[in-house]
Amino acid sequence: MSTLVGKTALVTGSSRGIGRAVAERLGREGARVAVHYRRDEAAAKDTVSAVEAAGGSAFAIQAELGVPNDAQTLWDAFDGHADTLDILVNNVGLEPGEFGIAATTPDGFDDVFATNVKAPFFVTQHALGRMRDGGRIVNISSTLTSHASAQPEYVTYAMAKSGLEILTSALAKQLGQRGITVNTVAPGLVETEPTKAKLFNEEARQFAASLVALGRLGQPEDVASAVAFLVSPDGGWVTGQYLDTSGGMLL
């Protein structure tokens, strides 16, 4: 059953990885999906084609996030294709290029916060005037906000992603009267291309999987399923929540 027929969704950073899986899933559920990309137009078009091949509808929009006027650029592109919004998934993220407090520079710190906190904040701000009552907002965080001591070198990333969780709580309260739900989804280790590059051999991969209660690494589709529930009619009574989608990592 297609639960999102007649809905329009925007998924930031959806040309690959978790964002692509979310875009494809929402498309299969009947939503018309705006596939946002930063630079890789070919990957975004491939995601659009995948959504359409599965019977859905999608269009690609480009905007660099984490730079001045990023939200306005994004929504100008969106407005060229659609005039209302029902679902916003703030998925785009930037991992640090510098690890640990000693190595982090002010510019590196600012880049991480600009992409992971400032961009979703103002993308959401601009979205609210376009979003219909009863809409859905999902912020993609990370279980590192709960387990920062497991990977302290990711301190700036964990700090930034924790800001999304505060945004979720505040907006859930503020937007409740409009019937708009706001939730956080927090993946653990997910087998995307960046993760595969880090787990460069089978031994490392098996060790990482051993940290997960369900005994395997997550797949982008696992996270997409959680998002699909939250934006569906069945998720309409869930707001202001943090949903761990790590398969029970570091329990």
Catalytic residue of the set 37, 154, 157, 242: 157
**Residue 200 pLDDT more than 90?**
no
For residue 91, give Cα distances in angstroms to 67, 96, 117, 123, 141.
16, 16, 11, 11, 8
pLDDT at 242: 98
**Residue 195 pLDDT more than 80?**
no
Asked if 57 contacts 46 with a C-beta cutoff of 8 angstroms, the reply is: no
pTM listed for this prediction: 0.96
What band does 201 get if pLDDT is binned at 50, 70 and 90? confident
Collapsing DSSP states into helix, strand and coil, what is residue 118?
Answer: helix
Q: Which bin fits 250, alpha (ψ -120 to 50), beta or left (φ > 0)?
A: left
Residues 202-232 pLDDT 10s: 888 888 899 999 999 999 999 999 999 999 9
Residues 140-165 pLDDT 10s: 999 999 988 888 999 999 999 999 99
Percent of the chain with pLDDT over 90: 88
Q: Is 157 a catalytic residue?
A: yes
The dihedral over CA atoms of 221, 90, 143, 50, expressed in degrees to the nearest 10, equals 20
Mean pLDDT in residue range 9-29: 97
pLDDT at 203: 87
Collapsing DSSP states into helix, strand and coil, what is residue 183?
Answer: strand
What mean pLDDT, rounded, does the chain reach?
95
Residues 165-191 pLDDT 10s: 999 999 999 999 999 999 999 999 999
**Which range, of 20-24, 105-109, 111-115, 197-201, averages the lowest pLDDT?**
197-201
- Give the fold, CATH level 3, of 8-189+223-244: Rossmann fold (3.40.50)
Residues 31-61 pLDDT 10s: 999 999 999 999 999 999 999 998 899 999 9
What band does 193 get if pLDDT is binned at 50, 70 and 90? confident
For residue 2, give Cα distances in angstroms to 6, 132, 198, 218, 234.
10, 19, 37, 25, 12
- Domain ranges in the chain? 8-189+223-244
pLDDT at 199: 66
